[in-house]
Amino acid sequence: MKRFYPALLTLSLILSKFAPVQAQIAATPAPAVRLAITSPVTTTPASMATVNTDPSSTTQPGITYQLSSADKDIIATRDAFEKRDLKLLAVAMARFAGVPGTAHKLSQYVQYWWLSANLAKADTFATTNATEIRAFLNANPNSVVADNLRRDWLKILGKWDQWELFAAEMPWLNIEDAEISCHQWRYRLSKNDRDALTEAKSFWTAARTAPDACDDVFARLATEKMLPNTEAWLRLRTLLENNQLAQARKSALLLPNIPSNFERTTAIIGQNPALYLQRENLQAASPASVELFLFAVTRLARTDADRAASLLETRGRKLSTSDLEYAWAQVGLYGSMQHEPGALGWFERAGTFALNDIQAGWKTRAALRAGNWESVRAAIGAMTASERREPAWRYWLARATQESGNADAARTLREVLARENNFYGVLAAEEIGVPQIPVWQGWKPTRTDIDAVMQRPAIGRALAFYRLDMKAEGLREWQYGIRNMDDHELLAAAEAARVANVPDRAINTAEKTLVVHDYAQRFPTPHQADLATQARAQGLDEAWVYGLIRQESRFMADAKSRTGAMGLMQLMPATATWAAKKVSMTHFSLAKVIDVPVNLSLGSFYLRHVLDDLGHPVLATAGYNAGPGRARRWRAVGPLEGAIYAETIPFAETRDYVKKVMVNAWFYTQQAGATTRRLTEMMGTVPGSGSGNAGVSSLVSVALQNKLP
């Protein structure tokens, strides 16, 4: 049994010593939080009965919500939590627990932050204050804070072999966590439950990233010879393939006869895989030599698939048939991502090797660019059943089936897909001549409906967090609050979010409905006057701009990404500064980038610049996300169908982004009354790399005749 360090000071001692600090929280300055609303509203659920629930009304930027003293205390307490300042957290505990008039929707977080910070500061808190932790968990069942605190508590209890407390609390965990699973196996092994070894072995062979807590369990598997060489080397291959070098090196230590220079060799390969392949004398009888060679092939293929293919051809002849076919599958995978002309041929050299879903997906994309529909069908057929159900693959399978001459089977596939509200569903509906018709006047919640969802504590806490500009906490509470809601409840929650000026939650929640929909809630049109002005000034399709903003920021005017992009159109500081100079914007500062008119002005100018540079809206959409240079390099030599260009974008984020922006634009054109506009026409044909910027698409120069509502 591991021993604990001396216990922390008790709460009463902290309070008696640091009570004067209470004034610091009360006096902590906090910036005003902007809350754009459609009518005066308080934060109580009952107030929702008086708000304007008309989704066509616009928000009113510039309205400032005045923070109460309790709001300021919550903000200061969260700041103290982030700094792990136990003194101020203890003061906040006393203030919210013992002073009348400090009740707040987020008051439970004060105690949660105090408990969580103490756990982070010293592991001993997990046992010395176990009664207090359990009391909090019992008082806050089925909540975000309980789930998070229980997870953190169990990790510490497992770390220190506090099995009695661990066993009592483990059944209540609602979060999947690999580290806790490892501790649970350790606990069960302490009780001689050998089924734990079987479960741990399944985890091992799945090649999942394993936390340090699993080291002892895996070592036991090796000691008891439960890791057959074939499975062990397969795990190592998968980890190296996924570039998880630290995990691979740790796993290698459990293998018999592993070379002493294995770790050093992986580092050498990481630095210069081509040189390693040129110099290495492959030993086909040595599993380590084979796996290092295959790792080098994969590593080189990531950046230069053509060079990897050449070296595999000349240096890989000693490989067994199965290993050689695996290597060609890897070269084909990365060659497809690099749009190499030989990629499909490299896949063919993989022979009978069973492609995984990622490899099969990229073989499909290589076949699309090559116009080889039979290979499209074969590659999709090689996918797992769950992967084949993805809309993209069902759509391309329908196209390939049509090309094979089986029109009836193709129509059946399209008819099912056409019922779905996504990029491929719209394309499929157009192809069978039954275009989707979004219902813009869908089901609307009553004030009673809205009041009902606001009674859910997590929803109230989420909106309170958003009001205090604590978006991460608000998002977690919102996601928790809408669990298991039916369609009507989701639309009521979406309206509550819209009224509270949290448009991203309104849109995302409305999108979750399965049968009852409200497309006006999914595709709102805020800031219309400013957006229309800037779109006209730059000669841009208003629907396209709306579609792009919906994907960039979900209309959160103060949105800021991890990389620093800001505002509705998510402008990077350097881009905003450059655009401001180009348009001769006076008195510009980065602080102004989140102002709606400024952001729309600079963002529209930059979007026009990208469109002029690339000449096609699909290219421009990709360029806006990933950079114009990349979008240009992703073109084919000759003209390419816009949907195929989008499907074969190497970056998953950009690939998803382009599809969503373009289908967003289609929905906005429908909302504006252009009901005959086809997504197929909007995608157009992307020009080849040798044909300049003269693309074909109805979005480039055609502006909507009907203004968006």
Residues 630-647: pLDDT tens digits? 999 999 999 999 999 999
Closest C-alpha among 570, 48, 463 to residue 562: 570
| 396-416 pLDDT tens trace | 999 999 999 999 999 999 999
In angstroms, the CA 593 to CA 582 distance is 15
The three-state (H, E, C) secondary structure of 309-327, written as one string: HHHHHHHCCCCCHHHHHHH
Could you say which DSSP state residue 590 is in?
Answer: G
Is residue 421 helix, strand or coil? coil
pLDDT at residue number 257: 82
Segment 139-150 shows an average pLDDT of: 95
Segment 154-164 shows an average pLDDT of: 97
Which residues, 6+ apart, have CB-to-CB distance to 147 below 8 Å? 173, 174, 175
For the chain, what is the domain count? Answer: 3
Q: Are residues 156 and 269 in the same domain?
A: no
Query: Would you say residue 488 lies in a domain?
Result: no
The three-state (H, E, C) secondary structure of 109-156, written as one string: HHHHHHHHHHHHHCCCHHHHCHHHHHHHHHHCCCCHHHHHHHHHHHHH
Q: Which tokens in the block code for residue 189?
A: 């092994």
Phi then psi dihedrals of residue 571, to 5 deg: -90, 130
Strand pairing category for 685-686 and 640-641: antiparallel
Closest C-alpha among 120, 128, 189 to residue 155: 120
199 included as an active-site residue: no
pLDDT at residue number 403: 97
Closest C-alpha among 186, 176, 173 to residue 218: 186
pLDDT at residue number 228: 86
pLDDT band at 98 (very low <50, low <70, confident <90, very high): low
Closest C-alpha among 53, 586, 630 to residue 338: 630
Phi then psi dihedrals of residue 228, to 5 deg: -55, 145
Is residue 24 helix, strand or coil? helix
The 8 Å CB, 24+ separation contacts for 404-410 are 404/373, 404/374, 404/377
Q: Beta-carbon neighbour count of residue 590 at 10 Å?
A: 13
pLDDT at 58 over 70: no
In angstroms, the CA 283 to CA 265 distance is 15
pLDDT at 443 over 80: yes
pLDDT at residue number 546: 98
How far is C-alpha 346 from the geometric centre of its chain's CA atoms? 31
Phi then psi dihedrals of residue 696, to 5 deg: -120, 110
pLDDT band at 100 (very low <50, low <70, confident <90, very high): low
Q: Are residues 153 and 280 in the same domain?
A: no
Last residue of a domain, one of 166, 185, 204: 185
Q: Are residues 181 and 314 in the same domain?
A: no
Segment 26-39 shows an average pLDDT of: 30
pLDDT at 7 over 70: no
Indicate the range of 102-106, 604-608, 679-683 predicted with least confidence.
Answer: 102-106
pLDDT at residue number 690: 74
Angle at the Cα of 341 from the Cα atoms of 339 and 345, rounded to 5 degrees: 115
In angstroms, the CA 297 to CA 276 distance is 10
pLDDT at 141 over 50: yes
Segment 61-86 shows an average pLDDT of: 85
Last residue of a domain, one of 157, 185, 213: 185
- CB-based contact 373:399 (threshold 8 Å): yes
- CB-based contact 509:482 (threshold 8 Å): yes
Is residue 258 helix, strand or coil? coil
Query: Would you say residue 643 lies in a domain?
Result: yes
Segment 177-198 shows an average pLDDT of: 96
Query: Would you say residue 319 lies in a domain?
Result: yes
pLDDT at 386 over 60: yes
- CB-based contact 479:436 (threshold 8 Å): no
Domain extent, residue 123, equals 11-185
Q: Are residues 154 and 20 in the same domain?
A: yes
Q: Are residues 263 and 181 in the same domain?
A: no
- The percentage of residues in the chain with a pLDDT greater than 90, rounded to a whole number, is 81
pLDDT at residue number 180: 97
Last residue of a domain, one of 153, 185, 217: 185
Query: Would you say residue 387 lies in a domain?
Result: no
pLDDT at 337 over 90: yes
| 240-265 pLDDT tens trace | 999 999 999 999 988 888 999 999 99
Catalytic residue among 552, 641, 653, 681: 552
Query: Would you say residue 229 lies in a domain?
Result: no
pLDDT at residue number 196: 96
pLDDT at 63 over 70: no
| 492-534 pLDDT tens trace | 999 999 999 999 999 999 999 999 999 999 999 999 999 999 9
Segment 260-274 shows an average pLDDT of: 95
Query: Would you say residue 436 lies in a domain?
Result: no
Q: Which tokens in the block code for residue 443?
A: 């089901």
pLDDT at 109 over 90: yes
In angstroms, the CA 74 to CA 30 distance is 10
pLDDT at residue number 24: 39
Query: Would you say residue 670 lies in a domain?
Result: yes
pLDDT at residue number 208: 85
Altogether, the residues listed in the chain come to a count of: 709
In angstroms, the CA 135 to CA 373 distance is 62
Q: Are residues 168 and 289 in the same domain?
A: no
Is residue 338 helix, strand or coil? coil
Q: Are residues 537 and 653 in the same domain?
A: yes
pLDDT band at 3 (very low <50, low <70, confident <90, very high): very low
pLDDT at residue number 699: 56
pLDDT at 12 over 70: no
String of DSSP letters for 32-62: PEE---SS---SSGGGGGGS---TTS---TT
| 584-601 pLDDT tens trace | 999 999 999 999 999 999
- Mean pLDDT score across all residues of the chain: 88
Q: Are residues 176 and 268 in the same domain?
A: no
pLDDT at residue number 104: 87
Query: Would you say residue 419 lies in a domain?
Result: no
Segment 564-586 shows an average pLDDT of: 97
Q: Are residues 156 and 272 in the same domain?
A: no
Output the domain CATH number for residue 590. 1.10.530.10
Phi then psi dihedrals of residue 349, to 5 deg: -75, -10
Q: Which tokens in the block code for residue 172?
A: 């209540």
